[in-house]
Structure 1
Amino acid sequence: MNSKKIFDDSNKKVANTEIQIKKYQDSILQLNQEITDLSYFNFDSNEKSYFYFADKGYDMSKLLPAIQDGLYTQNEFDGDEHPLIPYGSSEGNRMQINIVRILNHKWIIADFTDGQFEGELFITYEIDEKGDLKYKLVESFLYPL
Structure 2
Amino acid sequence: MKKNIFLYLFLFTALICLYLFVSSNKMVEMNTVKITKLQSEIDVLKDSVQRSNVKVMDMQYFSLENNDDALAYYEHLDLNNPAAYITDKLLETNEQKGDNPLIPYEGMENDFKINKIKILNHKWILADFSDGKYWGELLIKYELKDDLGVDFTLVDHLLYTRSN
Report the TM-score, using the length of structure 2 for normalisation: 0.79
What is the alpha-carbon distance in structure 1 between the residues aligned to residue 77 and residue 154 of structure 2?
24
Matched residue pairs, number?
Answer: 141
The structure with higher relative contact order (CA 8 Å, sep 6+) is 1
Any idea what the Cα deviations from partners look like across 1:66-97, whole Å, max 9, x if unmatched? 2111111111223x443101111124x11110
Question: What's the offset of the Cα at 1:52?
Answer: 1.2
CA contact (8 A) 2:65 2:83 kept: no
**Identity of aligned pairs, percent?**
35
Instruction: State the AA in 1 paired with 2:142.
Output: Y
Question: Which residue pairs with 1:112 in the alignment?
Answer: 129
Q: Choose from 105, 111, 118 the match for 1:87.
A: 105
Question: Which residue pairs with 2:96 in the alignment?
Answer: 77
The 1:121–1:75 alpha-carbon spacing in structure 2 relative to 1, beyond 3 Å, is same
Larger radius of gyration: 2
Where do 5+ consecutive residues of structure 2 fail to align? 1-21
Question: Which residue pairs with 1:29 in the alignment?
Answer: 50
Residues 1:124 and 2:141 are matched in the alignment: yes
CA contact (8 A) 2:113 2:129 kept: yes
Question: What's the offset of the Cα at 1:2?
Answer: 2.1
Report the TM-score, using the length of structure 1 for normalisation: 0.89
The 1:125–1:26 alpha-carbon spacing in structure 2 relative to 1, beyond 3 Å, is same
Aligned residues: CA RMSD: 1.6
Question: Which residue pairs with 2:15 in the alignment?
Answer: none
Q: Choose from 1, 5, 14 the match for 2:35.
A: 14
Where do 5+ consecutive residues of structure 1 fail to align? none
Moved more, 121-130 or 101-110: 121-130
Question: What's the offset of the Cα at 1:129?
Answer: 6.1
More helix by share: 2
Moved more, 10-19 or 81-90: 81-90
Question: What's the offset of the Cα at 1:135?
Answer: 0.1
Question: Which residue pairs with 1:61 in the alignment?
Answer: 80
Give the secondary-structure state (helix, strand or coil) at the position aligned to 2:155: strand
Moved more, 114-123 or 127-136: 127-136
